[in-house]
Amino acid sequence: MIYFDISIIDKARVNTGIQRVAKEILKRFIVKNEIVFKIISYNEIEHIYKAIDNESFLDFLVCKYQKEYKFKYLEEINIKDFKKNDIFFDIDAYWNSLLKRSYLYKILYEKEIKIYNIVHDLIPIKFPKYAFENTLRNFIINLAATYKYSYLTIFPSRSTEKDYLEIAKQIGVTNKLNTIVIKWGSEITKNISDEKHFLLNEKYILFVGTLEPRKNQYLLVKVFEELSLKYKDIKLVLIGKEGWNNEKFISYLKNHELLNDKIFWLNNVNDSLLIKFYNNAYINVYLSEYEGFGLPIAESLNFNNITITSRNSSMYEVGKNFADYIKYNSFNELYEILNLYLEDSELYNSKKQYIKQNYKPYNWDMTYQFILNSLRKKGNLNVIKNDKLQFVFISIDKNNLIGTIKEIDKNISFVKEYIIVTKKEFIKDFKTIKSKNKISIINENNILGKYAENFEKRDHVSKNWILRCSLLNIDFLDDEFIMLDDDNRPLKKINIEHFIKDNKYNAYYFYDLLEWNCFNTDYDIGQHNMKKILDNEGYELLSYSSHKPQIINKKIFKEMVDKYFQIGLKLPIDEWSMYFNYAISTYPFLFNKIKYDTLNWPSHPSNWIQMYIPNKYEFENFYNTNFQGTYDEKIKQKQKELLLYLENQKLDEKNSFYYKKYNMVHGSLVYKKDNKKIILCNIPYFLYAKKGTWKKISINYKALNLANQDVRIGYYINENMGAFTNLKINDNFIDDISEFNVSCGSLQEEIYNILIDVFIDNKPVYGLNSKYLIKLIVEK
């Protein structure tokens, strides 16, 4: 039996984000009726759970006065009545319950009842100053119990999942944590009521959210004070109740000379009027310092609103390239982006249109389906656990292959055989490769079938996709196999637990796909394509092309191929991330998600901004140019190379504080040529870099009327031309993020003037007349 505990909804009858999530999910469990479950509420006076009639719960959802609604209770359930293998699902704000989980979970765990949790956010732990003290106290107790006893912990964003795992590391949690990201639906019914409010006819900037320090309304009010001097017709509307610990701002607001003239605070707006305010807003702003998901961003985008928000925690996962981000929460950034949209109607209309045409909110049916998957027992699939495994290569490089097979023979004892898929012309030569293990060589045309035609004309990523999908046509391919490239070499002894542990498959990731901001190669384009495809499905978004061998379950691989093969014929996508994200989102209990351990991926730390740094190195992405030597020497060399780049990243983290505090950020850099326009955002006034490195920062760019033109960001350093960063612009309006690269390879320790410019079809827009100056401080 599955038990959903909704004690807090029953007791408090409030309608915060958490309660809304629980209601949307449970509504679908009742209506779709695909699994047996009970909704239960703990009676704190009688000390017993009571089951709630499902129909009664549905009535509650639609009744006008939820506070007064009386549930129809069915049978009573004592904690002792829960049975082995039952599922206890904490879907509500359980830390507010008097039934402390430190007590309850221990009992359930001892009875082998599986505990499911949703951790909506970790605000009390990460930002205790924003938490009400009693909430903080209870949150700590209940979170400790979650770490200790949870069978599966669900998060609405990768950001919250990462925080949870990071905290686990900091506090020394040693038990295995099963986690999964399931995004919240955020579609809303736009029933526009006939309610009226005089502000609805005005041009206003809207901020919806409790007035509390974490939401940072103060910054918006300060910016608005300046804007209102320039734009006489614009108003600011703050909708939200007075929050905790915000007396200073409330007093400032209440005594503001613009209050009720240009600034309006509405603290009691019902849902239907709120929808009208969203619908009529000129621009929406949301500046929270931390969110577990960020529903207000999704809600605003649902109304095709220009949505300006802070760039932290989960915000980008929700707003992606549809929202505008204030990366450092500085005055300049907010002022200038608002100013841009207020003065540039073409930009404003293009962005609105872009949101309208492309933004798709996650939906609640999707959320429900993923939760349902997680409750079903592994979808009738199990890890097979063969003693020996096939290692399946695709290769056209004999020398690489010989070297890799030699290293595998030396370090891996569980090879059943090597299967090498290659071109017809290489088969004879490949047959001379020697190994202590059996080698089977396959002509790629035999498995490609009709896709052999024109195969050579395809790009590298698409070739890999088609060929790897075609592995399923190998009739002697085992149900579980290792998939790898001919340059994936073990650096040390590897046992089978590297791939299968605790009855689960290990899946090694190296990046968060949403954060992949390079546009230089087919591989990069593949990452961007895949991000969109996976995101549309609501799957997790990690990049698994970690350039190391990974274990594949043939049945799941076939499911993925059946579903996405055709897409991969049209767009470059990579098989690793398609497979693992599909598989993990569909069968969460079959996989351990693990940070990768590949040396030389990337081949050099300057290739992209490092997101995850391996704790240990067990495989090598082999290049002839790699540093040669013993294992220890190779690691030492790599760490030395990496160190400067990690220091660069640390410098950025440190300087972020000063960028915000002293407002040291360019708001927007605007480049215009005829009707063409490029706007760059998130560029600080100064950058620190270590000598000998490439300095890399991620910036936002917006491009108008530049479809398919060659556009690059460049810079002049002390009046000499510097490096370029290519931008991908394939439409008349593009809003995206790119890494901006500054070469410090040959620079001495000094302070340099950097003039940032944009180049369209190789021609500079401003040249040395660019007014956008930053200081580059190169240090030892």
Partner 1 sequence: MKDIYKNLISLVKKNNNGKICYVDNKNGIEFPLFDFPLFLLLAIDDEEEFVNECFVKILDRHINEGNLHLIDKLKKKKVTKEKIISILYSSKECKGKGINLNFDKKVKK
State the residues that interact with partner 1 by CB under 8 A. 44-47, 98-100, 102-104, 106, 124-129, 133-134, 136-138, 140-141, 143-145, 147-149, 167, 170-173
Residue among 77 and 144 whose Cβ is closer to partner 1: 144
Nearest to 542 by CA among 583, 590, 505, 504: 583
Residue among 31 and 171 whose Cβ is closer to partner 1: 171
What's the closest the beta carbon of residue 173 comes to partner 1, in angstroms?
6
| N residues, the chain | 780
Terminal-residue alpha carbon distance, the chain:
63
CB of 286 closer than 8 Å to CB of 296: yes
Sign of CA dihedral 754, 757, 762, 767: negative
CB of 574 closer than 8 Å to CB of 545: yes
What's the closest the beta carbon of residue 22 comes to partner 1, in angstroms?
22
DSSP annotation of 81 reads G
Residue among 27 and 106 whose Cβ is closer to partner 1: 106
What's the closest the beta carbon of residue 513 comes to partner 1, in angstroms?
29
Residue among 128 and 629 whose Cβ is closer to partner 1: 128
Burial label for 741, CB within 10 Å (0-12, 13-18, 19+), is buried
What's the closest the beta carbon of residue 7 comes to partner 1, in angstroms?
12
Residue among 243 and 764 whose Cβ is closer to partner 1: 243
- Please state, in angstroms and rounded to a whole number, the distance separating the CA atoms of residues 334 and 660: 11
HEC sequence for 230-269: HCCCEEEEEECCECCCCHHHHHHHHCCCCECCCEEEECCC
Residue among 145 and 687 whose Cβ is closer to partner 1: 145
What's the closest the beta carbon of residue 47 comes to partner 1, in angstroms?
5
What's the closest the beta carbon of residue 141 comes to partner 1, in angstroms?
6
Residue among 162 and 690 whose Cβ is closer to partner 1: 162
Residue among 10 and 540 whose Cβ is closer to partner 1: 10
CB of 188 closer than 8 Å to CB of 219: no
- Please state, in angstroms and rounded to a whole number, the distance separating the CA atoms of residues 279 and 303: 6
- Please state, in angstroms and rounded to a whole number, the distance separating the CA atoms of residues 671 and 757: 8
Cis peptide before 490, with omega less than 30 degrees from 0? no
Sign of CA dihedral 427, 429, 434, 435: negative
Residue among 167 and 396 whose Cβ is closer to partner 1: 167
Enter the tokens of residue 363: 């939906």
Residue among 44 and 562 whose Cβ is closer to partner 1: 44
Beta carbons within 10 angstroms of residue 671's beta carbon: 23
Q: Which residues contact 198 (CB under 8 A, 6 or more apart)?
A: none
Nearest to 775 by CA among 693, 651, 687, 701: 687
Residue among 176 and 232 whose Cβ is closer to partner 1: 176
What's the closest the beta carbon of residue 328 comes to partner 1, in angstroms?
21
What's the closest the beta carbon of residue 149 comes to partner 1, in angstroms?
8
- Please state, in angstroms and rounded to a whole number, the distance separating the CA atoms of residues 426 and 360: 47
Burial label for 744, CB within 10 Å (0-12, 13-18, 19+), is buried
- Please state, in angstroms and rounded to a whole number, the distance separating the CA atoms of residues 556 and 457: 29
What's the closest the beta carbon of residue 134 comes to partner 1, in angstroms?
5
Residue among 129 and 661 whose Cβ is closer to partner 1: 129
Residue among 150 and 553 whose Cβ is closer to partner 1: 150
**9-19 burial: b if 16+ Cβ within 10 Å, else e:** bbbeeeeebbb
What's the closest the beta carbon of residue 137 comes to partner 1, in angstroms?
5
What's the closest the beta carbon of residue 131 comes to partner 1, in angstroms?
9
What's the closest the beta carbon of residue 357 comes to partner 1, in angstroms?
42
Residue 469: CA count within 13 A, CB half-sphere: 27
> Are β-strands 480-485 and 389-394 bridged in parallel, bridged antiparallel, or unpaired?
parallel
CB of 671 closer than 8 Å to CB of 678: yes
What's the closest the beta carbon of residue 162 comes to partner 1, in angstroms?
15
Residue among 167 and 494 whose Cβ is closer to partner 1: 167
What's the closest the beta carbon of residue 271 comes to partner 1, in angstroms?
31
Q: Which residues contact 694 (CB under 8 A, 6 or more apart)?
A: 606, 723, 741, 742, 743, 744, 745
DSSP annotation of 3 reads E
